[in-house]
Amino acid sequence: MQNTPVVSALLNYKTLNRRRFHVPAHAGLPLGNHFQALSQQLGFSSALLDVDLTELDGLDVLSIPEGCIAESQALTAERYGVAHTFYSINGTSGGLHACLLASFQPDDAVLTPRNAHRSIIAGLVLAGLNPVWCEPIWYADWGLWGDVSPATVEQAFKQNPNIKGVIITHPTYEGLATDLETIAKLCKTHNKRLIVDEAHGALFAWHKAFPQSACELPEAISADAIVQSPHKTGGSLTQSAWVHLPKGSAISPQRLQQALNHLQTTSPSYLLLASLDLASAWLASVDFQQALQRQLLRVQRLERQLQAVPSVRLLRKTHLPVLACGRPALDETRFYLRHATLSGETVAEILETERGLSYESCNPYGALYLTSFQHGEADFQAFADGFTWVDEQSVIEEIQHEKAFEPVKQASFMMPEVALSPRNAFFHEDVETVTLAEAQGRISAETIVRCPPGIPVLLPGERIQPSHLSLLGQTGTQAIQVIVG
Ligand SMILES: Cc1ncc(COP(=O)(O)O)c(C=O)c1O
């Protein structure tokens, strides 16, 4: 049985049965009258509210952990084979912000792929860093931006010797992995820091069927920080995440703690902390390995079922380059697929409304579905049946002009023309709001993002090109904040 120190401390606190003259004001009870019924319908029961506690005597302090949080973080570090783990209650976003503050000095240059998540842009603003943008690989058959090749990283180091570090997205939202080992070696050889946004990779270290986790890199070529969202794939509550400093990291744990303390609330939710404690223990358990094994078998069967559906094309590791480490280049528990005649958006919406299958994200080309160790036989079968049903529908006429599975031309706006650093654009004193029609050629003062996948269409400090305008239209943007002049 795996230890769960935060959960134990909470259970112990409950037994004390104290009268609560402290925050939170709900005092462990649903709100009165009409609101009581609503709370209960939502499942905000007394049992749940009773443990919605924050830092109290008998519990621990997230910013200076010495008790149950310290113990739980140490256990998670041991389970992942890293030197230190820190809990984040603001997702991977908050963890990445702290890593950038702790790793670099203002005005440092950092190499960042253009398909980085919006949280990286916020981190660049907060830490005052100058991004050197690099182009990820475009997978035309799928209409997706993927990993960054080691050759791109090497070239960037040659052209910009002032680069201090690299921020890698591994894997991408759709599960495409990077050749981490080769990039990590390059970073060590050229003395650059390596921060890995492993938001979608919290399970990778737990099974060889997944791509390699940055936590598994040998100490001699270790990353400096790895941030994961167990809330996405590991079973903890939404918003909870963790930051790992591997053995061999150049970041001091004290510095990272300070950075986290600048960013995180002083009233951390013990619901989130307990869920991290539970997820960490769950991932290290035999029960999880068995559940994962069942999931992987179901994934294989679903793959075969979908491959037999003529109108569906499924992204699998065989479509991607082989990685130096020999591990798969794709998280195959994710199903990204294209339909022969329907856009990703249409197929996802039809399956949602007609078959009750909700999706993770979709784009004009494909749709993304995440399977979980929590899904049973019936869930997997409903998924396969849904796509077979779409295939059988002869009435669907949307987007008939699209040729089946045609490769998608690369989006041309990808490499930004940088006029100002993200921070200087964000803090610029002279900003005005203009319509889309007036925006061409102006410098953006803001980040505009289509979520999911959270990759910015427009960056602060980027000059607005004609190719931005139609994409911005698709995000529903009507007006943009730009720098005056
Ligand atoms: C690649 C990537 N990085 C970072 C994040 C941010 O993670 P979180 O939602 O846990 O803050 C996301 C969220 O979707 C993401 O897709």
Spell out the domain ranges in the chain: 5-50, 68-283, 286-392, 422-483
Which residues make beta-bridge pairs with 105? Answer: none
pLDDT at 399: 40
Q: Which residue out of 87, 90, 92 has the highest number of ligand 1 atoms within 8 Å of its CB and is therefore the one to mutate?
A: 92
Chain CA centroid to CA 136, Å: 17
pLDDT in tens, 35-86: 888 988 998 888 999 999 999 988 999 999 999 999 999 999 999 999 999 9
pLDDT at 32: 86
pLDDT at 411: 65
Residue 482 CA to ligand 1 centre (angstroms):
26
Q: What CATH topology corresponds to 422-483?
A: Ornithine Decarboxylase; Chain A, domain 4 (3.90.100)
**171 CA closest ligand 1 atom index:** 1
Return the CATH number of the domain spanning residue range 68-283: 3.40.640.10
Q: What CATH topology corresponds to 286-392?
A: Aspartate Aminotransferase, domain 1 (3.90.1150)
pLDDT in tens, 313-324: 999 999 998 898
A 10 A CB-CB count for 97 gives 27
pLDDT in tens, 283-306: 999 999 999 999 999 999 999 999
Q: Which residue out of 229, 263, 276 has the highest number of ligand 1 atoms within 8 Å of its CB and is therefore the one to mutate?
A: 229
Counting every residue written for the chain, the total comes to 485
pLDDT at 401: 43
Which tokens is 155 given? 């070239």
Q: What is the mean pLDDT of each run of 10 residues along the chain (485 residues)?
A: 95 93 93 87 90 93 98 98 98 98 98 96 98 95 95 98 98 97 98 98 98 98 98 98 98 98 97 98 98 98 96 95 92 96 92 96 95 98 96 60 72 80 96 94 92 86 90 85 93
Ligand 1 pocket at CB < 6 A: 91-93, 117, 119, 169, 173, 197, 199, 229, 241, 454
pLDDT at 369: 98
Chain CA centroid to CA 61, Å: 26
Q: Hey, whose CA ends up nearest to atom 16 of ligand 1?
A: 173
Residue 174 CA to ligand 1 centre (angstroms):
12
**Strand segments (E) across 317-447:** 334-339, 361-362, 366-370, 431-435
DSSP string for residues in 176-227? B---HHHHHHHHHHTT-EEEEE-TT-TTGGG-TTSPPPGGGS-GGG--SEEE
pLDDT at 410: 76
pLDDT at 412: 58
pLDDT at 189: 98
